Amino acid sequence: MPTSNSETLDIAIIGAAHPHVEYVLSEIANRTDVRVVAIADHDAARRAELERRTMAPGYADPHALLDAHQVRAAAVFTEFGLRAPIVAELLRRGIFAIADKPMAVTLPQLAAIEETLAGRNLLTLLLEKRFYPVTLALRPIIDSGELGDVVSITATGPHKLVPSRRPAWMFEPSTYGGILADLTVHDIDLALWLTGYTSGTVSGWISPIAAAGTTDFPALGRAILACDGGPQFAIEVDWIQPEASPRHGDYAMRISGTKGRADVLFAENKLLVETATRPLREVDLPAGVSPAGFVFDHLARGETLQIPANEALRATRIAILAQESAANGGKPMRWS
């Protein structure tokens, strides 16, 4: 149920292990219809910083927070491997779960979330790439048929690692999960959201070469999605963006269709389109949208939830399946 005009949406923030917590903090700083009433983090330093920024009481244990406060929703930004049990507990209590990606890092973790969700629309995933100016401009071009039938989508997602500035939990498999379970979620979601395909197979591959400054942290991974009766999506992600680069990552995506193609340069905020009848052009872009605004518009104003639970679960599941495939010699895994 949305809040009335006279009510404020009370939420909690659980964890600040990843800087994506800024999505929620910056959004609520510009709203009067949402407030943080409690925070939790097992790390004392992170907990103190959240308390300072939100002026809300802090807890080391999220269960203690949930026992002490009535909240409509909670945003989860803990270490990756710790998220799924917290999300499941929120759902068990009927609290809307706002998850950062990845919400789970193993198939059993994801199954526990789905079982507790029980078909209710009490879950979303903060997938900020959907709301970039280039993405908002791309969707109507694909929908218009200007590119024809989509034949393939190729995405690259380079990231800077800088191991000396990364928290220790990122280098532990139990708390990180893996390069494919982590970094492919966004582009898997985008490819399916843009094209509408609902089933196929996914194969994964992870480079045996370690990222610079590490001994066994994979430098690169690839996921190949083959859609039933449709296109193929090739998603490459890595931790080898040069440290001297001015950008954290030169993310890009090419959509190739039977009538034309589009190149999405996320880092440069450019969308280039060329077809059989129109030469290469740079498309004018709309303003971007806040990554977390959509969920608070849904909860506080009753607007349609733009990233519903089934789409959040689907992108997460395929990313985990890609990780599982890589661990099994690239064996294709079914998704639907």
Alpha carbon distance 321, 332 (integer Å): 9
Place of tokens 């030469």: 279
Helices (H) and strands (E) in the chain, counts: 11, 15
Q: What is the CA radius of gyration of the chain?
A: 20
Per-residue pLDDT of the chain (336 residues; tens, 9 = 90+): 555 445 899 999 999 999 999 999 999 999 999 999 999 999 999 999 999 999 999 999 999 999 999 999 999 999 999 999 999 999 999 999 999 999 999 999 999 999 999 999 999 999 999 999 999 999 999 999 999 999 999 999 999 999 999 999 999 999 999 999 999 999 999 999 999 999 999 999 999 999 999 999 999 999 999 999 999 999 999 999 999 999 999 999 999 999 999 999 999 999 999 999 999 999 999 999 999 999 999 999 999 999 999 999 999 999 999 999 999 999 999 999
CB atoms within 10 A of CB 144: 8
CATH number at residue 150: 3.30.360.10
Which residue from 297, 331, 274 is spatially nearest to 141, judged by alpha carbons?
274
First to last CA, the chain: 30
Please report the pLDDT score of residue 7 as a whole number: 84
Alpha carbon distance 326, 271 (integer Å): 32
Please report the pLDDT score of residue 44 as a whole number: 98
Q: Are residues 123 and 139 in the same domain?
A: no
Q: Decide if 296 is inside a domain.
A: yes
Contact 157, 183 (CB under 8 A): yes
Q: Are residues 143 and 281 in the same domain?
A: yes
Alpha carbon distance 200, 229 (integer Å): 8
Q: Decide if 314 is inside a domain.
A: no
Q: Decide if 4 is inside a domain.
A: no
Give the Å distances, CA to CA, from 286 to 36, 65, 144, 262. Answer: 30, 40, 17, 17
Q: Are residues 115 and 139 in the same domain?
A: no
Q: Are residues 275 and 143 in the same domain?
A: yes
Q: Are residues 182 and 254 in the same domain?
A: yes
Q: Are residues 327 and 220 in the same domain?
A: yes
Pairing between β-strand 200-206 and β-strand 333-335 as defined by DSSP bridges: antiparallel
Domain of residue 162 covers 129-289+319-335
Q: Decide if 313 is inside a domain.
A: no
Please count the structural domains in the chain: 2
